[in-house]
Structures are given as structure tokens and as C-alpha cells.
């Protein structure tokens, strides 16, 4: 295996949140590349203050500490590297399953019918201890991939029925979490390098566009101060979602995007 920055892999049978753990490590000056993997999280964090739950020993719950030397306006591309690396890894484990999966902007992995396979949460700390030592500020990116849970829809609580899916369901067999993690970290190494250059970042945005099922879809964008609807037409060179509303073209930097099905 080529040299990789992701060699310090810390495994936890149970922890509150791998993101919380790495943010604390970052504040104490930990370098880029530390990885935390948990069999179970007791307070897994999701986007927009939600929780992320999975039964022990079934899914991949992993966070990485990155310190990309890029401006705050581009740090969301760190999340893109993780989404693309996860797709790559699924392609290594089961190429036909990977063809069923796309990215729902900004960073959910979904299967063809829109059920969610994985979620990604990036958390930054712009005033951490490392800054004093000349380290770029940390961004902790955590991903939860539904690998073996749910085994079938019968495992899902009613509120997740039709909304969540596992790799096991797509592949048709249980999936080896360690093989997936190994392939993921390997791919992430080659993707993270792209954060360092303008061309690399443009490449990440292009790849995001090519794997993004939000494009061409009617969407509702929920922002902190209201929402609007339109058709997603593309991804800007810096990774933002471009939405045509009829009256204007708007670029969405951050927000929750709902794919609106015509007729619903």
C-alpha cells in the first residue's frame, strides 16, 4: 500500500461520538490523519443537530481528522473527498452495488430510490490549540455507512421505513466492514491530496457533479431563514449547488436539500 496519512487508526468498542473524540484530540494538537472507528456510538451526531443511531457491531462509524491548508470557503470540499472515497470503497467491495448509489447534495449517499445509505458530518474548530503550533485548523469529517443494518426493512423503526437502506440490502449479502474501511482509507488518501491545489479542488467539484443525483431534480432548499424551490442545474467549480428558480439562478452554499418528486 502506498504511503498514507491514515495510519493512526483508533478503535473503540463503544464511545459517545467519534467526531467528538477527534475534535477534542484536535484541540489538544493532534496531527492530520488520526482516524477513530467505533463499533457503537452512544451519542452519535448527525447534521443539523440530529442524532445518528446504529446498533452495535453492524455499521461503519468512522471519523477522520483533516487539516487542509485551504480557506474556510473551501473546507466543505473535505466532505466531498469523504463522499467520493466512500463511493470508491463501495465500488471495490461490490462494483454493481456502487452503480446503484449516488451523492445527494451536499453529502448523503443514497440508492436509486432515494433511500439513505450514508451520512457525513463535518465539524470544524477554527480556534484550536494546533493553530498556535502552526497547524492548519482541523476539520473532523465523520461518516456513518449503513453496512449490515438494517438486514431487512423489518429491522427499521417505522419512521425510517422507506428512508434508510443498508449496503447488505443492496448487495444481497453481509458486507465485511473492515474490508470497506480499508478500501475507504486508501481511496481517501488519494482524494485528500486534491484539496491542496486549485486544479484538484476543481476535479473534486467535477466528480461531485458527475456522481450527484440532485442535479436535474426538483428541489426544496431549506435555509436557516426560509426555503425556496427550484431545479438543481449543476455544481459550481467550488462545490456549491446551483438551483434555477424560474426567476433567478441561486447558488446554495449550505442548507438542507429535499428532492421533491413531481406530483407529490
* Contacts with ligand BTN, residue ranges (CB under 6 A): 17-19, 41, 44-47, 50, 52, 61-63, 108, 119-121, 142-144
Of 248 and 254, CB closest to ligand BTN: 254
Nearer to ligand BTN among residue 36 and residue 204 (C-beta): 36
Q: Least CB distance from residue 263 to ligand BTN, whole Å?
A: 27
Do 32 and 66 form a contact (C-beta atoms < 8 A)?
A: yes
Residue 184 sits at the vertex; the CA angle it makes with 202 and 199, to the nearest 5 degrees, is 15
Shortest Å distance, C-beta 115 to ligand BTN: 13
Give the C-alpha separation, 170 to 31, whole Å. 36
- In whole angstroms, how close is the CB of 17 to ligand BTN at the nearest point? 3
Closer CB to ligand BTN, 52 or 184, in the complex: 52
Report residue 209 CA to chain centroid gap: 15
Adjacency order of strands within the sheet including 218-223? 249-252, 241-244, 226-235, 218-223, 256-259
Rounded to the nearest 5°, which phi and psi values hold at 41? Answer: -120, 135
Helix (H, G, I), strand (E, B) or coil at 56: coil
Nearest residue to 182 via CA among 78, 62, 66, 68: 62
- Residue with Cβ nearer ligand BTN (52 or 149): 52
CB of 126 to ligand BTN, least distance (A): 20
Of 46 and 200, the one with the shorter C-beta distance to ligand BTN is 46
The enclosing H or E element of 116 equals strand 116-124
Q: Between 36 and 97, whose beta carbon lies closer to ligand BTN?
A: 36
Phi–psi pair at 233, nearest 5 degrees: -110, -15
Q: How far is the CB of 44 from ligand BTN (least distance, A)?
A: 4
Residue 199 beta carbon to ligand BTN: minimum distance, rounded to whole angstroms? 29
**Which residue's beta carbon is nearest to the bound ligand BTN?**
119
Amino acid at each position: 500500500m502506498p504511503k498514507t496519512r491514515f495510519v493512526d487508526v483508533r478503535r473503540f468498542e463503544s464511545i459517545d461520538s467519534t467526531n467528538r473524540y477527534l475534535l477534542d484530540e484536535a484541540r489538544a494538537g493532534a496531527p492530520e490523519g488520526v482516524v477513530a472507528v467505533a463499533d457503537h456510538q452512544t451519542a452519535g451526531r448527525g447534521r443539523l443537530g440530529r442524532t445518528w443511531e446504529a446498533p452495535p457491531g453492524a455499521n461503519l462509524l468512522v471519523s477522520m481528522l483533516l487539516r487542509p491548508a485551504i480557506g474556510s470557503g473551501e473546507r466543505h470540499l473535505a466532505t466531498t473527498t469523504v463522499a467520493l472515497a466512500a463511493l470508491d470503497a463501495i465500488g471495490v467491495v461490490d462494483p454493481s452495488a456502487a452503480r446503484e448509489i449516488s451523492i445527494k447534495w451536499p453529502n448523503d449517499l443514497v440508492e436509486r430510490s432515494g433511500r439513505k445509505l450514508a451520512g457525513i458530518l463535518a465539524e470544524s474548530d477554527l480556534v484550536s490549540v494546533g493553530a498556535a503550533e502552526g497547524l492548519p485548523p482541523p476539520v473532523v469529517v465523520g461518516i456513518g455507512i449503513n453496512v449490515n443494518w438494517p438486514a431487512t426493512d423489518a429491522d427499521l423503526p417505522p419512521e425510517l421505513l422507506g428512508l434508510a437502506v443498508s449496503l447488505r440490502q443492496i448487495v444481497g449479502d453481509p458486507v465485511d466492514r473492515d474490508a470497506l474501511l480499508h478500501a475507504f482509507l486508501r481511496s481517501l488518501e488519494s482524494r485528500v491530496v486534491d484539496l491542496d491545489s486549485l486544479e484538484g479542488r476543481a476535479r473534486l467539484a467535477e466528480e461531485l457533479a458527475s456522481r450527484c443525483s440532485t442535479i436535474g431534480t426538483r428541489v426544496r432548499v431549506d435555509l436557516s431563514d426560509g426555503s425556496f424551490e427550484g431545479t438543481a442545474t449543476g455544481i459550481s467549480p467550488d462545490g456549491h449547488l446551483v438551483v434555477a428558480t424560474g426567476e433567478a439562478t441561486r447558488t446554495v452554499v449550505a442548507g438542507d436539500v429535499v428532492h421533491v418528486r413531481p406530483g407529490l
